[in-house]
């Protein structure tokens, strides 16, 4: 056997050995990757099977339990429909939305304070059927607040639109829109006793003064009209017809009286002086 043949045999053996080792390596990689693919963590989540409006009461028939990869599940997603049964939707949830603990809550959590944006105040004013546009104003509407000033003494009254586009938060104690029916909503004499508006702190001050000194009335706005389409009018204390400011009572300046001269002052009785045998009365 010559050297060339030995070299060829060794090369073939090395090639076969390298191929076998490569196949074993690839097989081991596949065996390690297979458990990873089969061990993807799944999680049960609850989704809505219909559109749920905000502040709607949630029942079990509105929800469906499904299984999804844990990596795709939203944080704080609930896993059992019973967790949301009887709760209220804090936001609107379209069909197919994942139900989370941040989207549902107890009925008390959707009260008046939850509807106030930061920097806004809730102020109530008394109204009747006429002032509240025949009780057609509903929570969620936008209204203008008109203040009518009656100056008396035959002077025609004047009206100021002091607030424009105020958000109606509640009618009486009703936070939701009431269905139109033959029976009037709760209130005094068939009308709503109060309307609660969402205003700024400055508007709250103005509304309080106007409520005490003027007659207030609401004007319903179209939802398509921008709030800032018209400017609000300024109501001052002078417009309320109060008494004029008192005249100045500062006393006139006093004229200084000149001091009397020494010559005009009468000398008092002199001091007795004894000068030898003489007796005199002088200074």
CATH code of the domain containing 72: 3.90.1210.10
- pLDDT for res 80: 92
Q: Same domain, yes or no, for 104 and 117?
A: no
Q: Same domain, yes or no, for 141 and 220?
A: yes
Residue 174 belongs to domain spanning:
113-240
- Return d(Cα 162, Cα 126) in angstroms, integer: 16
Q: Looking at the domain assignment, is residue 230 inside a domain?
A: yes
- Return d(Cα 205, Cα 264) in angstroms, integer: 68
Q: Same domain, yes or no, for 68 and 122?
A: no
Q: Same domain, yes or no, for 120 and 53?
A: no
Q: Is the pLDDT of residue 253 over 60?
A: no
Maximum alpha-carbon separation in the chain? 185
Residues in the chain: 283
Q: Same domain, yes or no, for 146 and 99?
A: no
- pLDDT for res 107: 67
Q: Same domain, yes or no, for 47 and 165?
A: no
Question: 80, 108, 136 — which closes off a domain?
Answer: 108
Which is higher by pLDDT, 263 or 136? 136
Q: Same domain, yes or no, for 126 and 205?
A: yes
Q: Looking at the domain assignment, is residue 70 inside a domain?
A: yes
* Residue 262 CB neighbour total at 10 angstroms: 7
- Return d(Cα 144, Cα 218) in angstroms, integer: 6
pLDDT band, residue 267 (cuts 50/70/90) = very low
Which is higher by pLDDT, 192 or 116? 116
Q: In this predicted model, what pLDDT tens digit does every residue of 172-231 receive, in sequence order?
A: 877 766 555 444 444 444 455 888 999 999 999 999 999 888 889 899 888 888 877 788
Q: Same domain, yes or no, for 163 and 236?
A: yes
Average per-residue pLDDT in the chain?
A: 76
Q: Looking at the domain assignment, is residue 279 inside a domain?
A: no
Q: Same domain, yes or no, for 90 and 168?
A: no
Q: Looking at the domain assignment, is residue 218 inside a domain?
A: yes
Q: Looking at the domain assignment, is residue 248 inside a domain?
A: no
Q: Looking at the domain assignment, is residue 22 inside a domain?
A: no
- Return d(Cα 95, Cα 57) in angstroms, integer: 15
pLDDT band, residue 250 (cuts 50/70/90) = very low
Instruction: Please tell me the total count of domains within the chain.
Output: 2
> Are 198 and 122 within 8 A, CB to CB?
yes
- Return d(Cα 78, Cα 67) in angstroms, integer: 12
Sheet holding 121-126, edge to edge: 121-126, 194-199, 158-171, 142-149, 215-220
Q: Looking at the domain assignment, is residue 89 inside a domain?
A: yes
Three-state SS for 121? strand
- pLDDT for res 54: 82
Q: In this predicted model, what pLDDT tens digit does every residue of 31-54 receive, in sequence order?
A: 766 554 455 788 999 999 999 988
Q: Which H or E element spans position 43?
A: strand 42-48
């Amino acid at each position: 056997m010559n050297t060339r043949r030995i070299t060829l045999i060794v090369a073939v053996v090395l090639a076969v050995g390298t191929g076998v080792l490569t196949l074993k390596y690839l097989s081991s990689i596949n065996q390690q990757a297979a458990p990873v693919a089969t061990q993807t963590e799944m999680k049960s989540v609850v989704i809505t099977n219909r559109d749920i409006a905000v502040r709607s009461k949630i029942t079990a028939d509105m929800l469906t339990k499904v299984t999804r990869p844990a990596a795709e599940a939203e944080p704080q997603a609930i896993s059992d429909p019973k967790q949301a049964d009887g709760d209220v939707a804090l936001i609107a949830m379209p069909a197919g939305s994942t139900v989370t603990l941040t989207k549902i809550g107890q009925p008390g959590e959707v009260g008046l304070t939850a509807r106030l944006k930061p920097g806004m105040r809730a102020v109530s004013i008394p109204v009747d059927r006429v002032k509240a546009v025949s009780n057609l104003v509903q929570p969620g509407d936008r209204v203008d607040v008109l203040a009518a000033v009656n100056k008396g003494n035959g002077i025609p009254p004047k009206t100021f639109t002091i607030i424009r586009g105020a958000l109606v938060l509640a009618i009486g104690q009703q936070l939701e829109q009431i269905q139109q029916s033959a029976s009037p909503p709760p209130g005094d004499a068939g009308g709503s006793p109060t309307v609660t508006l969402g205003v700024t702190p400055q508007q709250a001050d103005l509304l309080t003064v106007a409520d005490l000194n003027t007659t207030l009335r609401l004007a319903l706005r179209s939802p398509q009209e921008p709030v800032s389409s018209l400017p609000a009018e300024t109501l001052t204390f002078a417009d309320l017809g109060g008494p004029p400011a008192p005249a100045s009572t500062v006393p006139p300046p006093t004229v200084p009286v000149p001091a009397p001269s020494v010559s005009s002052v009468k000398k008092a009785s002199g001091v007795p002086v004894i000068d030898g045998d003489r007796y005199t009365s002088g200074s």
